[in-house]
């Protein structure tokens, strides 16, 4: 995978060198998003950051929109992109992120509504409405803000764009996240479907990615809290997911798994007929009960 990524990055550098002499209609087979303009919320770290790098390596111009200003801005510089402070719960911030893309490159082709928070763990019998409101504000209203402003801009510029929303394996199967988080992610899948229904008329596609078991700050933080082990490292979390949270034994999720899924959904050429879809990237965990696999053993 990393060899392939290096090829893409090398190819991106070559394309940059040659871009004045090349016709824009010629598409390198290694560049999957040439000239596309993307906004990634929550793009400063984790899955969003990995996707920002892979989008840029595939020829896209990337706006990173996050509340982590220092690392977000540094990442944007490193990939030739732009950074904007954006709290997705504030509609005006999200609108400003989309406007930055349009001011910079004249349009927005790809919106990745990726920003998310985990919410408070614990029993439904102790649910804190304040926490629920906060998680819905970020994970659901933040996504709705992104769909709304990306769609407005795409319609205005006649762009057949791709809107991608971060859902979760928790939207597919119970027991994988806090109650508020699970509810928010289920609602994201529903909102993406209804938006896909409306926006297809303009050639705009709306899809979800349901990631699982990627040892980001969010997931490692959750393991540390729940298991009461502040020293837990990302590698240990990856190992546990690989053993107990994946049908592909020994293989947990990686940022790159989700980033490649996002590149696929973003590409009109590859996923132009895919909309209203929830792309589950979970090592098969939510599709079968691995505990019953003994029934397939020979006598």
Side-chain half-sphere of 298: how many Cα atoms within 13 Å?
0
Taking alpha carbons only, the member of 291, 282, 105 closest to residue 208 is 282
Question: Could you tell me the strand order of the sheet in which 162-166 lies?
Answer: 82-85, 61-66, 37-41, 110-113, 162-166, 205-211, 278-281
Options 181, 260, 285, 296, the catalytic residue: 181
181 is known as an active-site residue: yes
59 secondary structure, DSSP code: T
Among the candidate windows 96-104, 110-118, 243-251, 269-277, which touches ligand NAD by CB under 6 A?
Answer: 110-118
List the x/- string, 168-197, binding to ligand NAD by CB under 6 A: xx----------------------------
Binding pattern for the stretch 65-104 against ligand NAD, x by CB under 6 A and - elsewhere: -xxx-----------------xxxx---------------
Residue 115 engages ligand NAD in binding (rule: CB under 6 A): yes
**Shortest separation between residue 14's beta carbon and ligand NAD, angstroms:** 30
d(CA 75, CA 70): 9
Give which of 178, 170, 165 is closest to 139, Cα–Cα: 165
Stretch of 15-23, 216-224, 271-279, 289-297 contacting ligand NAD, by CB under 6 A = 216-224
CB 114 within 8 A of CB 166: yes
Residues found near ligand NAD in the complex (CB under 6 A): 41-42, 44-48, 66-68, 86-89, 114-117, 138, 142, 166, 168-169, 211-214, 216-219, 253
> Would you please indicate which residues are annotated as catalytic (active-site) residues?
181
């Amino acid at each position: 995978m990393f060899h392939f990524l290096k090829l893409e990055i090398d190819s991106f550098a070559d394309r940059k060198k040659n871009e004045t002499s090349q016709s824009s209609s010629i598409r390198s087979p290694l560049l999957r998003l040439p000239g596309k303009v993307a906004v990634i919320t929550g793009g400063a770290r984790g899955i969003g950051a990995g996707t920002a790098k892979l989008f840029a390596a595939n020829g896209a111009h990337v706006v990173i929109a996050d509340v982590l200003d220092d690392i977000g801005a540094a990442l944007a510089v490193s990939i030739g992109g732009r950074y904007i402070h954006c709290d997705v719960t504030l509609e005006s911030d999200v609108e400003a992120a989309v406007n930055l893309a349009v001011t910079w490159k004249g349009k927005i082709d790809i919106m990745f509504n990726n920003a998310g928070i985990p919410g408070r763990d614990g029993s439904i019998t102790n649910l804190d409405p304040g926490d629920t409101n906060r998680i819905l504000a970020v994970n659901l209203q933040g996504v709705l803000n992104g769909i709304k402003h990306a769609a407005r801009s795409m319609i205005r510029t006649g762009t057949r764009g791709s809107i991608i929303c971060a859902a979760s394996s928790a939207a597919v199967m119970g027991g994988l996240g806090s109650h508020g988080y699970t509810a928010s992610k289920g609602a994201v899948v529903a909102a993406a479907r209804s938006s896909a229904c409306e926006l297809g008329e303009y050639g705009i596609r709306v899809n979800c990615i349901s990631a699982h078991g990627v040892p980001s700050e969010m997931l490692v933080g959750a393991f540390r809290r729940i298991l009461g082990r502040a020293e837990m490292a990302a590698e240990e979390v990856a190992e546990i997911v690989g053993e107990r949270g994946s049908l592909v034994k020994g293989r947990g999720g990686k940022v790159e798994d989700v980033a490649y899924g996002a590149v696929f959904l973003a590409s009109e050429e590859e996923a132009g007929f895919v909309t209203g879809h929830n792309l589950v990237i979970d090592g098969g965990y939510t599709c079968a009960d691995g505990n019953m696999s003994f029934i397939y053993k020979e006598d």
